[in-house]
Amino acid sequence: MIVEMRTGAAQEEVDGVVQRAKELGLGIQLNLGTNKTVVALLGPNTGQLPIDIFAVLPGVERVTRIMKPYKLASRDFKSEDTVVSVNGVEIGGKRIVVMAGPCAVEGEKQLMAAAMVVKEAGACILRGGAYKPRTSPFAFQGLEEFGLELLRQTKAQFGMPVVTEVVAPHDVARVVEYTDILQVGARNMQNYALLTEIGKSKCPVLLKRGFSATVTEWLTAADYLLAGGNDQVILCERGIRTFEDSTRFSLDVGSIPIVKKSSHLPLIVDPSHAAGHYSVVPALAKAAIAAGADGLLVEVHPNPKEALVDGLQSLTPSDFARLMTELRSIAEAVGRYI
Ligand code: PEP
Ligand code: MN
Protein backbone atom coordinates (compact mmCIF):
# COMPACT_ATOMS: atom_id res chain seq x y z
CA MET A 1 0.00 0.00 0.00
CA ILE A 2 1.24 3.48 -0.90
CA VAL A 3 0.45 6.59 1.11
CA GLU A 4 1.08 9.81 -0.80
CA MET A 5 1.40 12.83 1.43
CA ARG A 6 0.18 16.25 0.32
CA THR A 7 2.77 18.60 -1.15
CA GLY A 8 4.35 20.42 1.78
CA ALA A 9 2.94 18.03 4.40
CA ALA A 10 4.41 18.72 7.84
CA GLN A 11 6.94 16.35 9.36
CA GLU A 12 4.46 15.55 12.20
CA GLU A 13 1.94 14.43 9.57
CA VAL A 14 4.47 12.06 8.00
CA ASP A 15 5.39 10.85 11.49
CA GLY A 16 1.69 10.23 12.17
CA VAL A 17 1.47 7.85 9.19
CA VAL A 18 4.68 6.09 10.19
CA GLN A 19 3.43 5.74 13.78
CA ARG A 20 0.11 4.24 12.67
CA ALA A 21 1.92 1.78 10.37
CA LYS A 22 4.14 0.70 13.25
CA GLU A 23 1.13 0.18 15.52
CA LEU A 24 -0.27 -2.15 12.86
CA GLY A 25 3.02 -4.04 12.68
CA LEU A 26 3.81 -2.89 9.15
CA GLY A 27 7.22 -2.19 7.66
CA ILE A 28 7.71 1.20 6.01
CA GLN A 29 9.95 2.78 3.40
CA LEU A 30 9.96 6.50 2.75
CA ASN A 31 10.49 8.11 -0.61
CA LEU A 32 11.37 11.71 0.15
CA GLY A 33 10.63 12.95 -3.37
CA THR A 34 11.43 16.44 -4.57
CA ASN A 35 8.03 17.85 -3.70
CA LYS A 36 6.13 15.17 -1.83
CA THR A 37 6.79 12.29 0.52
CA VAL A 38 5.52 8.84 -0.32
CA VAL A 39 5.30 6.14 2.35
CA ALA A 40 5.27 2.49 1.26
CA LEU A 41 3.56 0.22 3.78
CA LEU A 42 4.98 -3.26 3.67
CA GLY A 43 3.84 -6.51 5.13
CA PRO A 44 2.27 -9.81 4.20
CA ASN A 45 -1.29 -8.70 5.00
CA THR A 46 -1.57 -5.14 3.71
CA GLY A 47 -4.11 -6.41 1.18
CA GLN A 48 -6.55 -7.06 4.04
CA LEU A 49 -6.28 -3.56 5.55
CA PRO A 50 -8.90 -0.98 4.58
CA ILE A 51 -7.18 1.99 2.95
CA ASP A 52 -9.27 4.40 5.04
CA ILE A 53 -7.11 3.65 8.09
CA PHE A 54 -4.49 5.85 6.44
CA ALA A 55 -6.65 8.01 4.18
CA VAL A 56 -8.16 9.75 7.24
CA LEU A 57 -4.84 10.80 8.72
CA PRO A 58 -3.84 14.49 8.49
CA GLY A 59 -1.60 15.40 5.56
CA VAL A 60 -2.51 12.33 3.49
CA GLU A 61 -3.46 13.04 -0.12
CA ARG A 62 -4.06 9.57 -1.49
CA VAL A 63 -3.78 5.92 -0.52
CA THR A 64 -3.47 3.25 -3.20
CA ARG A 65 -2.70 -0.40 -3.31
CA ILE A 66 0.23 -1.58 -5.41
CA MET A 67 -1.16 -4.61 -7.15
CA LYS A 68 2.22 -5.76 -8.46
CA PRO A 69 4.35 -8.18 -6.44
CA TYR A 70 7.22 -5.69 -6.47
CA LYS A 71 6.64 -2.53 -4.49
CA LEU A 72 9.80 -0.51 -3.85
CA ALA A 73 11.24 -1.03 -7.33
CA SER A 74 7.97 0.16 -8.81
CA ARG A 75 7.20 3.56 -10.32
CA ASP A 76 4.08 3.62 -8.13
CA PHE A 77 6.37 4.08 -5.14
CA LYS A 78 8.82 6.44 -6.84
CA SER A 79 7.83 8.12 -10.06
CA GLU A 80 11.11 9.91 -10.78
CA ASP A 81 14.13 8.06 -12.20
CA THR A 82 16.71 6.86 -9.70
CA VAL A 83 20.22 7.97 -10.56
CA VAL A 84 22.95 5.91 -8.90
CA SER A 85 26.14 7.83 -8.37
CA VAL A 86 29.39 5.85 -8.30
CA ASN A 87 32.42 8.00 -7.50
CA GLY A 88 31.01 10.80 -9.60
CA VAL A 89 29.78 8.57 -12.45
CA GLU A 90 26.00 8.86 -12.68
CA ILE A 91 24.06 5.81 -13.88
CA GLY A 92 20.49 6.52 -14.98
CA GLY A 93 21.03 10.11 -16.10
CA LYS A 94 21.39 11.42 -19.64
CA ARG A 95 24.81 9.94 -20.12
CA ILE A 96 25.11 6.35 -21.34
CA VAL A 97 27.53 4.66 -18.96
CA VAL A 98 29.73 1.94 -20.42
CA MET A 99 31.30 -0.57 -18.04
CA ALA A 100 33.89 -2.76 -19.72
CA GLY A 101 36.72 -5.14 -19.02
CA PRO A 102 37.51 -8.83 -18.91
CA CYS A 103 35.12 -11.50 -17.76
CA ALA A 104 37.62 -12.57 -15.10
CA VAL A 105 40.59 -10.93 -13.48
CA GLU A 106 43.44 -13.18 -14.66
CA GLY A 107 46.54 -11.31 -13.60
CA GLU A 108 48.10 -7.89 -13.18
CA LYS A 109 49.27 -7.46 -16.76
CA GLN A 110 45.93 -8.52 -18.23
CA LEU A 111 43.85 -6.27 -15.97
CA MET A 112 46.06 -3.21 -16.38
CA ALA A 113 46.08 -3.64 -20.18
CA ALA A 114 42.29 -4.03 -20.20
CA ALA A 115 41.79 -0.94 -18.04
CA MET A 116 44.03 1.10 -20.29
CA VAL A 117 42.20 0.21 -23.49
CA VAL A 118 38.67 0.50 -22.16
CA LYS A 119 39.39 3.84 -20.52
CA GLU A 120 41.03 5.14 -23.67
CA ALA A 121 37.96 4.14 -25.70
CA GLY A 122 35.60 5.96 -23.32
CA ALA A 123 34.38 3.38 -20.80
CA CYS A 124 34.06 4.89 -17.35
CA ILE A 125 33.77 1.79 -15.13
CA LEU A 126 36.07 -1.25 -15.20
CA ARG A 127 34.56 -4.73 -14.90
CA GLY A 128 36.39 -7.89 -13.86
CA GLY A 129 35.31 -10.96 -11.91
CA ALA A 130 37.43 -12.09 -8.98
CA TYR A 131 34.88 -14.71 -7.91
CA LYS A 132 33.42 -16.56 -10.89
CA PRO A 133 30.22 -18.60 -10.54
CA ARG A 134 31.05 -21.33 -13.06
CA THR A 135 28.68 -23.96 -14.36
CA SER A 136 31.38 -26.62 -13.86
CA PRO A 137 33.29 -27.00 -10.58
CA PHE A 138 36.38 -27.88 -12.66
CA ALA A 139 36.42 -24.55 -14.54
CA PHE A 140 38.57 -21.58 -13.43
CA GLN A 141 36.84 -20.13 -10.36
CA GLY A 142 38.62 -16.77 -10.31
CA LEU A 143 41.59 -15.36 -8.40
CA GLU A 144 39.33 -14.51 -5.45
CA GLU A 145 40.97 -12.20 -2.89
CA PHE A 146 44.09 -11.74 -5.01
CA GLY A 147 41.79 -10.70 -7.87
CA LEU A 148 40.18 -8.12 -5.59
CA GLU A 149 43.64 -6.79 -4.72
CA LEU A 150 44.46 -6.43 -8.43
CA LEU A 151 41.19 -4.56 -8.97
CA ARG A 152 42.15 -2.19 -6.17
CA GLN A 153 45.58 -1.53 -7.69
CA THR A 154 44.18 -1.03 -11.17
CA LYS A 155 41.51 1.31 -9.89
CA ALA A 156 44.15 3.39 -8.12
CA GLN A 157 46.31 3.53 -11.24
CA PHE A 158 43.55 4.45 -13.71
CA GLY A 159 41.16 6.33 -11.43
CA MET A 160 38.26 4.17 -12.67
CA PRO A 161 35.53 2.77 -10.41
CA VAL A 162 35.21 -1.01 -10.58
CA VAL A 163 32.38 -3.53 -10.64
CA THR A 164 32.94 -7.10 -9.53
CA GLU A 165 30.75 -10.05 -8.63
CA VAL A 166 30.03 -11.34 -5.15
CA VAL A 167 28.73 -14.90 -4.99
CA ALA A 168 28.23 -15.67 -1.30
CA PRO A 169 26.66 -13.78 1.61
CA HIS A 170 29.75 -14.24 3.80
CA ASP A 171 31.93 -12.54 1.14
CA VAL A 172 29.88 -9.34 0.93
CA ALA A 173 31.76 -7.45 3.67
CA ARG A 174 35.13 -8.32 2.10
CA VAL A 175 34.19 -7.49 -1.50
CA VAL A 176 32.68 -4.14 -0.43
CA GLU A 177 36.15 -3.15 0.81
CA TYR A 178 37.49 -3.36 -2.75
CA THR A 179 34.70 -2.56 -5.15
CA ASP A 180 32.54 0.40 -6.11
CA ILE A 181 29.66 -1.74 -7.41
CA LEU A 182 28.74 -5.25 -6.25
CA GLN A 183 27.55 -7.45 -9.10
CA VAL A 184 24.91 -10.09 -8.47
CA GLY A 185 25.15 -12.60 -11.31
CA ALA A 186 22.29 -14.15 -13.21
CA ARG A 187 22.73 -17.43 -11.31
CA ASN A 188 22.30 -15.60 -8.02
CA MET A 189 19.36 -13.33 -8.80
CA GLN A 190 17.19 -15.52 -6.61
CA ASN A 191 19.81 -16.12 -3.91
CA TYR A 192 17.74 -14.32 -1.31
CA ALA A 193 20.31 -14.75 1.48
CA LEU A 194 22.84 -12.94 -0.74
CA LEU A 195 20.37 -10.20 -1.67
CA THR A 196 19.44 -9.69 1.99
CA GLU A 197 23.09 -9.34 2.98
CA ILE A 198 23.78 -6.84 0.19
CA GLY A 199 20.61 -4.97 1.14
CA LYS A 200 22.23 -4.15 4.48
CA SER A 201 25.15 -2.43 2.78
CA LYS A 202 25.11 0.97 1.13
CA CYS A 203 27.31 -0.18 -1.75
CA PRO A 204 25.80 0.28 -5.24
CA VAL A 205 24.68 -3.04 -6.65
CA LEU A 206 24.22 -4.34 -10.18
CA LEU A 207 21.43 -6.92 -10.22
CA LYS A 208 21.51 -9.14 -13.28
CA ARG A 209 18.36 -10.76 -14.56
CA GLY A 210 18.26 -14.49 -13.93
CA PHE A 211 18.17 -16.30 -17.25
CA SER A 212 14.88 -17.97 -16.47
CA ALA A 213 13.37 -15.08 -14.54
CA THR A 214 10.45 -12.97 -15.70
CA VAL A 215 10.72 -9.19 -15.49
CA THR A 216 8.34 -9.32 -12.52
CA GLU A 217 10.51 -11.84 -10.66
CA TRP A 218 13.58 -9.73 -11.40
CA LEU A 219 12.01 -6.51 -10.07
CA THR A 220 10.71 -8.40 -7.03
CA ALA A 221 14.27 -9.60 -6.39
CA ALA A 222 15.33 -5.94 -6.51
CA ASP A 223 12.83 -5.33 -3.69
CA TYR A 224 14.99 -7.53 -1.41
CA LEU A 225 17.85 -5.04 -1.85
CA LEU A 226 15.63 -1.98 -1.51
CA ALA A 227 13.74 -3.34 1.51
CA GLY A 228 17.04 -3.83 3.31
CA GLY A 229 17.77 -0.13 2.86
CA ASN A 230 20.12 -0.26 -0.13
CA ASP A 231 18.59 2.09 -2.68
CA GLN A 232 21.64 2.14 -4.99
CA VAL A 233 20.32 -0.56 -7.29
CA ILE A 234 21.15 -0.86 -11.01
CA LEU A 235 19.38 -3.53 -13.09
CA CYS A 236 21.19 -5.46 -15.82
CA GLU A 237 19.46 -7.35 -18.65
CA ARG A 238 21.77 -10.09 -19.92
CA GLY A 239 19.55 -12.34 -21.97
CA ILE A 240 17.25 -15.21 -21.13
CA ARG A 241 17.15 -18.86 -22.07
CA THR A 242 14.83 -19.68 -24.94
CA PHE A 243 14.67 -22.49 -27.51
CA GLU A 244 17.02 -20.48 -29.74
CA ASP A 245 20.57 -21.79 -29.58
CA SER A 246 22.37 -19.76 -32.23
CA THR A 247 23.16 -17.16 -29.58
CA ARG A 248 24.23 -18.06 -26.02
CA PHE A 249 21.07 -16.48 -24.58
CA SER A 250 18.27 -14.46 -26.21
CA LEU A 251 18.65 -10.77 -25.48
CA ASP A 252 15.22 -9.64 -24.36
CA VAL A 253 15.20 -6.18 -25.94
CA GLY A 254 11.52 -5.88 -25.09
CA SER A 255 12.30 -5.93 -21.39
CA ILE A 256 14.11 -2.59 -21.74
CA PRO A 257 11.05 -0.38 -22.35
CA ILE A 258 8.99 -2.58 -20.00
CA VAL A 259 11.46 -2.14 -17.12
CA LYS A 260 11.89 1.59 -17.80
CA LYS A 261 8.12 2.01 -17.66
CA SER A 262 7.55 -0.17 -14.60
CA SER A 263 10.52 0.77 -12.47
CA HIS A 264 12.45 3.90 -11.48
CA LEU A 265 15.73 1.97 -11.30
CA PRO A 266 18.49 2.49 -13.87
CA LEU A 267 18.88 -0.34 -16.38
CA ILE A 268 21.97 -1.40 -18.26
CA VAL A 269 22.44 -4.24 -20.74
CA ASP A 270 25.14 -6.89 -21.00
CA PRO A 271 25.28 -7.78 -24.71
CA SER A 272 28.29 -10.10 -24.23
CA HIS A 273 26.64 -12.94 -22.29
CA ALA A 274 23.54 -12.72 -24.48
CA ALA A 275 25.57 -12.95 -27.69
CA GLY A 276 28.14 -15.55 -26.71
CA HIS A 277 30.16 -14.54 -29.78
CA TYR A 278 32.17 -11.37 -30.30
CA SER A 279 30.72 -10.81 -33.78
CA VAL A 280 27.18 -10.46 -32.39
CA VAL A 281 28.03 -8.16 -29.45
CA PRO A 282 28.12 -4.78 -31.30
CA ALA A 283 24.66 -5.17 -32.84
CA LEU A 284 23.12 -6.13 -29.48
CA ALA A 285 24.89 -3.23 -27.75
CA LYS A 286 23.50 -0.78 -30.29
CA ALA A 287 20.00 -2.27 -30.07
CA ALA A 288 20.09 -1.89 -26.28
CA ILE A 289 20.95 1.79 -26.41
CA ALA A 290 18.39 2.42 -29.15
CA ALA A 291 15.75 0.71 -26.97
CA GLY A 292 16.44 2.97 -23.99
CA ALA A 293 19.07 1.28 -21.82
CA ASP A 294 21.06 3.58 -19.54
CA GLY A 295 24.36 1.83 -20.16
CA LEU A 296 26.23 -1.32 -21.09
CA LEU A 297 28.39 -3.98 -19.47
CA VAL A 298 30.77 -5.29 -22.13
CA GLU A 299 33.46 -7.95 -21.98
CA VAL A 300 36.74 -6.74 -23.44
CA HIS A 301 40.02 -8.65 -23.23
CA PRO A 302 43.44 -7.38 -24.32
CA ASN A 303 43.95 -10.74 -26.04
CA PRO A 304 40.71 -12.76 -26.24
CA LYS A 305 42.54 -15.80 -27.66
CA GLU A 306 44.29 -16.21 -24.33
CA ALA A 307 41.30 -15.48 -22.09
CA LEU A 308 40.69 -18.02 -19.33
CA VAL A 309 36.95 -17.31 -19.42
CA ASP A 310 34.56 -16.15 -22.16
CA GLY A 311 37.22 -15.38 -24.78
CA LEU A 312 34.81 -16.09 -27.63
CA GLN A 313 32.44 -13.31 -26.60
CA SER A 314 35.13 -10.81 -25.59
CA LEU A 315 35.83 -7.86 -27.82
CA THR A 316 39.38 -7.01 -28.79
CA PRO A 317 40.57 -3.50 -27.87
CA SER A 318 40.14 -2.30 -31.47
CA ASP A 319 36.64 -3.81 -31.83
CA PHE A 320 35.65 -2.14 -28.58
CA ALA A 321 37.02 1.23 -29.66
CA ARG A 322 35.06 0.95 -32.92
CA LEU A 323 31.89 0.02 -31.06
CA MET A 324 32.24 3.04 -28.77
CA THR A 325 32.51 5.32 -31.80
CA GLU A 326 29.44 3.74 -33.41
CA LEU A 327 27.46 3.97 -30.18
CA ARG A 328 27.92 7.73 -30.03
CA SER A 329 25.57 8.35 -32.95
CA ILE A 330 22.99 5.89 -31.61
CA ALA A 331 23.08 7.63 -28.23
CA GLU A 332 22.64 10.99 -29.90
CA ALA A 333 19.67 9.71 -31.93
CA VAL A 334 17.84 8.85 -28.69
CA GLY A 335 18.74 12.10 -26.95
CA ARG A 336 21.62 10.71 -24.89
CA TYR A 337 25.40 10.94 -25.01
CA ILE A 338 28.35 8.72 -24.08
C1 PEP B 1 29.63 -12.09 -15.78
O2 PEP B 1 29.21 -10.93 -15.94
O3 PEP B 1 30.82 -12.39 -15.83
C4 PEP B 1 28.67 -13.19 -15.60
C5 PEP B 1 29.03 -14.32 -15.02
O6 PEP B 1 27.46 -12.93 -16.11
P7 PEP B 1 26.03 -13.62 -15.84
O8 PEP B 1 25.86 -13.66 -14.35
O9 PEP B 1 25.09 -12.70 -16.54
O10 PEP B 1 26.08 -14.98 -16.47
MN1 MN C 1 31.70 -13.68 -18.65
Q: Where are the domains of the chain?
A: 2-64, 84-333
Q: How would residue 35 be classed by pLDDT, with cut points 50, 70 and 90?
A: confident
Q: Which ligand is nearest to the CA of 167?
A: 1
Q: In 3D, which of 40, 12, 41 has the Cα closest to residue 25?
A: 41
Q: Which ligand is nearest to the CA of 304?
A: 2
pLDDT tens readout for residues 161-218: 999 999 999 999 999 999 999 999 999 999 999 999 999 999 999 999 999 999 999 9
Q: In 3D, which of 135, 138, 147 has the Cα closest to residue 171?
A: 147
* Residues with a CB atom less than 6 Å from ligand 1: 103, 129, 185-187, 208, 238, 270, 273
Ligand 2 centroid from CA 61, angstroms: 48
pLDDT tens readout for residues 133-156: 999 999 999 999 999 999 999 999
Which CATH architecture describes the domain 84-333?
Answer: Alpha-Beta Barrel (3.20)
Portion of the chain with pLDDT greater than 70, in percent: 100
Pocket test for ligand 1, best of 106, 127, 143, 183 (most atoms within 8 A of CB): 183
What is the structure's pLDDT at 45?
Answer: 86
Stated pTM of the model? 0.96
pLDDT tens readout for residues 262-301: 999 999 999 999 999 999 999 999 999 999 999 999 999 9
Q: Per-residue pLDDT averaged across 239-255, rounded?
A: 98
What is the structure's pLDDT at 59?
Answer: 97
pLDDT at 41 over 90: yes
Ligand 1 centroid from CA 100, angstroms: 13
pLDDT at 47 over 90: no
- Alpha-carbon torsion 146, 147, 151, 157, what sign? positive
pLDDT tens readout for residues 64-103: 998 899 999 999 999 999 999 999 999 999 999 999 999 9
Tell me the residues surrounding ligand 2 (ion) with CB < 5 Å: 103, 310
Asked if domains 2-64 and 84-333 share a fold, the reply is no
Q: Are 165 and 176 in contact (CB under 8 A)?
A: no
What is the structure's pLDDT at 308?
Answer: 96
Q: How would residue 34 be classed by pLDDT, with cut points 50, 70 and 90?
A: confident
Q: Name the residue with the closest Cα to ligand 1, atom 8.
A: 185
What is the structure's pLDDT at 33?
Answer: 80
Contacts of 29 by beta carbon, 8 Å cutoff, 6+ apart: 39, 40, 42, 72, 77, 226, 227
Ligand 1 centroid from CA 233, angstroms: 17
Q: Name the residue with the closest Cα to ligand 1, atom 5.
A: 185
Report CA 79 to chain centroid distance, whole Å.
18
- How big is the CA angle at 211 (ends 74 and 297), to the nearest 5 degrees? 75
CATH homologous superfamily of 2-64 equals Phospho-2-dehydro-3-deoxyheptonate aldolase; domain 1 (3.30.70.1140)
> 141 phi and psi, to 5 degrees?
-100, 0
